[in-house]
Amino acid sequence: MPIKRKNRGRSKGKGSRGRSEYVFCAQCGKRIPADKAIKRVSWVPTVPGSIVKELEKQGTYVPKKRVVRYYCVSCAVFLGIVKIRARDERKELPEEMLLRRYKVK
């Protein structure tokens, strides 16, 4: 399973590209930059599922439609499309952030 984020979460490049287009998350409808979104392409048959099996048994060609879905990072994690890094693989946070987060005195 691919990891949640690579290259600072976006594939924008180092300033050469500027702003990127926005897409909508298929799950929650959130507006996300296209280079940050997690894109999944699936081929969906144009006829209902129960008929597809019978048609394929007979050797008939079943037309399929290309469906592109974009997901925001949190939805992709929730749906199991991407996974979070293991605890020891995660980025080390600065000390003051850790203190604030866990309220260690």
Binding mask 46-75 for Zn ion (x = CB under 5 A): --------------------------x--x
Nearer to Zn ion, 12 or 24 (CB): 24
CA distance 37 to 70: 6
Among positions 29-48, residues that touch Zn ion (CB under 5 A) are 30
- DSSP classification of residue 1: -
Should residue 79 be labelled a site residue for Zn ion when binding is judged by CB under 5 A? no
* Contact window for Zn ion (CB under 5 A) among 1-9, 21-29, 47-55, 60-68: 21-29
Task: Please check whether residue 52 is in contact with residue 46, taking contact to mean a CB–CB distance below 8 angstroms.
Answer: no
Among 23, 25, 37, 38, binds Zn ion (CB under 5 A): 25
Q: State which of residues 28, 51, 62, 98 lies at the interface with Zn ion (CB under 5 A).
A: 28
Q: Which two tokens stand for residue 104?
A: 């260690």
Report the distance separating Cα 97 and Cα 94, nearest Å: 5
Out of 27, 69, 81, 82, point to the residue binding Zn ion (CB under 5 A). 27
Contact present, 32 and 65 (Cβ < 8 Å) = no
Alpha-carbon dihedral 64, 70, 73, 76, rounded to 10 degrees? -20
